[in-house]
Each structure stands twice: as structure tokens, then as C-alpha cells.
Structure 1
Amino acid sequence: MSYTISRIIQNESFQEVDKRAREALANHGFGVLTEIDVKATMKKKLDKDMPEYLILGACNPAMAWEAIGIEPRVGAMLPCNVILREVSEGVEVSAIDPVVSMSAIDNDELKQVAGKVRDSLSEVVQAI
């Protein structure tokens, strides 16, 4: 079972895919709360080189509000991470599948919210 919703974008620069990802997230009600430049961090902390790799911590406030209202500790699993990484074929975009990540919580109402978030993130990934 895959734990991400992914696709590879070819013939686009990493910077262009990053721009398009942020636009697609915003168009679907997500804001970027956190950003981790993994490539820069690994270089700084370990002096290791790696391809471009960016983690965007995305949050849809309305859906987060709903999830927290159902299960207050679900915040430990938020925000929804979206990664952009340079691969030989282009730029891979991967979003966490919230249905899979929330499967550890035995709450059917929360699973319904996770399904709505998964649908939105699938639309985001396809829109990039």
C-alpha cells in the first residue's frame, strides 16, 4: 500500500514545479506553514550533497479544524507534508495520503475527514 499520492513532472525546472505546487495548494485551500530545504540542511549539518529535496508542510485550516474537533490529538499528525524532489526523470511531487496516515486512529468520523483531505491533495498533485 502506498502512503503517498505522487507523480513525476518532466521538462520543468525544480523552481517552476515549486511555484506551481504552492499555487495549486493555495487554489485548493491549503497554506504552507512550514518549509524544509532538505538539500541545504544536509549540506550544512553533514556536509553531504544531494539532489533538490523540499518538504512543504501544508494545512487546510477548515479541514484541520474539523479533524481537531473530532480528535484533539490529531495535531501530532499535522500538517500534511508535500515533498518535491529531483529525480532522474524530472521532479517528483508526493503528498502524504492522510487516509493511510490516519489509519492508526480508530475513529470512523476522522477517517471521513481524511478521505476529503486525500481527495483535495490528489487534486493538488494533479493540478501541478
Structure 2
Amino acid sequence: MNFAYTVETNKSIEEAISELEKQLKEEKFGVLWMFDIKEKLGEKGFELDEEYKVLEVCNPKEAERVLKEEKMAGYFLPCKIVVYKEGGQTKIGLPKPTALISMIDNQNLKEMAADIENRLIGCLDKSI
């Protein structure tokens, strides 16, 4: 099983994030927070060559379902989506919820994770 799913786009980071936010909204996911790693490292005197942003996204209904099923699943919340430049190309990726949840032995959770994963991957695919 692959740990992550990544797509490439010719869009700028800002365009990719804007489109991604629209697609996430369609699936009732909101961006809770966006962490600009390049900027933060720059503030601390360190440097990345390319932009790298981490979006923490959540669908409240799904978060409730997952946490009611298994409190330890909260260790994987919220879902993360990264948008970054590599070799001049914009990439959008995420750790697969099914890969993370596979560490907890609970079939109901695995089914929930598969549904969430499919929806998030659909958002990434529509964002390119």
C-alpha cells in the first residue's frame, strides 16, 4: 500500500490552493489552518528553495463519526494536504487516511477512512 497520493499541476501554488479549497468545500471539508513552512523556516534563519504549504482540513461530520468510533483515531486528525513546488512543478499530495488508520485494528474505521480518502483524492484530482 502506498502511504501517499500526489498529483502534479501547472498551476501556481496559489491557484492550486484556491481550486483545492473550492473542491474541498464541495465535499464539506474546510481548511482549518495553512502552515507556510518556507516562510516559517525563513523566520528562524533557515531556507527552503521552493514553497511548501501544509493545509489541515476537516469535515466536522466525519471527524465526529471517526472519534465516536475510536478516540485514538484523533491522533491522525485533522487530515493534511501538502502543496509544494518541486523542480518548478506544483504538487498536491496527502497521506492516505487508509494507510494511517491501518495502524488501528478496526474494520469500521477502515471503511470510514476509505470513504474519506476517496473523497479527498477526488478533490485533488479535480484541482489540477
- Tell me, yes or no, whether TM beats 0.5: yes
Q: Distance in 2 between matches of 1:125 and 1:13?
A: 14
Counterpart of 1:44 in structure 2: which amino acid?
A: E
Map 1:35-46 → 2, pairs under 5 A: 35-46=34-45
Between Structure 1 and Structure 2, how many residues are aligned?
Answer: 127
Map 1:83-94 → 2, pairs under 5 A: 83-94=82-93
| Superposition CA RMSD, Å | 1.2
Map 1:54-93 → 2, pairs under 5 A: 54-93=53-92
Counterpart of 2:90 in structure 1: which amino acid?
A: V
| Maintained 8 Å contact 1:8/1:89 | no
**Unmatched segments (≥5 aa) in structure 2:** none
SS in 1 for 2:2: coil
Between 99-108 and 86-95, the greater mean CA deviation after superposition: 86-95
Between 117-126 and 42-51, the greater mean CA deviation after superposition: 42-51
| Maintained 8 Å contact 1:52/1:85 | yes
Counterpart of 1:108 in structure 2: which amino acid?
A: Q
**Change beyond 3 A, Cα 1:66–1:35:** same
Q: Distance in 2 between matches of 1:122 and 1:13?
A: 19
Which residue is 1:33 aligned to?
32
| Maintained 8 Å contact 1:5/1:125 | no
Q: Distance in 1 between matches of 2:95 and 2:28?
A: 16
Which residue is 1:113 aligned to?
112
Which residue is 2:49 aligned to?
50
Which residue is 1:7 aligned to?
7
**Unmatched segments (≥5 aa) in structure 1:** none
Q: Percent identity?
A: 25
Offset at residue 6 of structure 1 (A):
1.1
Q: Distance in 1 between matches of 2:12 and 2:105?
A: 41
Offset at residue 67 of structure 1 (A):
0.5
Between 47-56 and 103-112, the greater mean CA deviation after superposition: 47-56
Q: Distance in 2 between matches of 1:46 and 1:74?
A: 35
SS in 1 for 2:94: strand
